[in-house]
Amino acid sequence: MHALANPARFLRFARPASLWTVALGLVLTLVGVLGGLFVTPPDYLQGETVRILYIHVPAAWLGMAGWSGIAAASFSQLVWRHPLATLAGRAIAPAGATFAAACLATGSIWGRPTWGSWWEWDGRLTSMLVLFFLYLGYIALAAAEKERGGEGRMAAIFGLAGAINLPIIHYSVLWWRTLHQGQSVSIGGGSHIAPSMLWPLPLTLSGFTLLFTAAILMRMRAELAEQKVEARLRRSRS
């Protein structure tokens, strides 16, 4: 990872990686979504509405993973001053905000027939909404610092501080009385979802993760290209 902090080395890696992550991500997402919509059986309680989990769960995962990436980039910027750390944080934020918004939207759609309400001030829903607003705040702060020509230190501090919300989201279903169901799938605890319904979920989870990665790589490449153009303009004016 330290080697990739060099912009030239990063670009040599990012160009082919962007292509492969987009291609593989689209294939996995398409297979997973089609399988979840047309192949898996309906749930015995929730019926057809359960199919939204194949979008909702990856969106929730990536909404949280995105801020974890921002926190890691912020730490690298503040401690090691990696040349690409600021760019990485700015690239992750819009993608993370998009998936956080998708999580809230799909959760609301799912909650309407399940809970009888589009929205409840539930611990999990509220903490996820806070995460979405944190993304918006980070995007605005990073853009303001970039406009002033700053190093992005305030955005990095904000990125680290906002990570406090991640364990709150994760443990909210345990800490408070909540309408949101508990964790259905875990690495160590197995799954409470029937295998006939579960198999598309790893596909959409992997596919959306690859597309998320591709979006970040392409935004970082665009930022580096913009910096190169600006540097050339400054040299031509001097």
Note the pLDDT tens digit of each residue in 50-96. Answer: 899 999 999 999 999 999 999 999 999 999 888 799 999 999 999 99
Measured distance CA(139)–CA(55) in Å, rounded = 24
Q: Are 193 and 44 spatial neighbours (Cβ–Cβ below 8 Å)?
A: no
Tens of pLDDT, residue by residue over 156-184, are 999 999 999 999 998 887 777 666 665 66
Tens of pLDDT, residue by residue over 178-194, are 666 656 665 554 556 77
Q: Are 159 and 79 spatial neighbours (Cβ–Cβ below 8 Å)?
A: no
pTM listed for this prediction: 0.90
**Among 159, 162, 160, 180, residue whose Cα is nearest residue 171:** 180
**Which DSSP symbol is given to 150?**
-
- Tell me which residue has tokens 């995007």: 139
Q: Are 156 and 79 spatial neighbours (Cβ–Cβ below 8 Å)?
A: no
Q: At 120, is the secondary structure helix, strand, or coil?
A: coil
pLDDT at 54: 95
pLDDT at 185: 60
Tens of pLDDT, residue by residue over 86-142, are 999 999 999 999 999 999 999 999 888 888 888 888 888 999 999 999 999 999 999
Alpha helices by DSSP H, listed for 39-164, are 53-79, 85-115, 123-147, 153-162
Q: What is the mean pLDDT of residues 32-39?
A: 95
Tens of pLDDT, residue by residue over 215-233, are 999 999 999 998 887 767 6
pLDDT at 189: 47
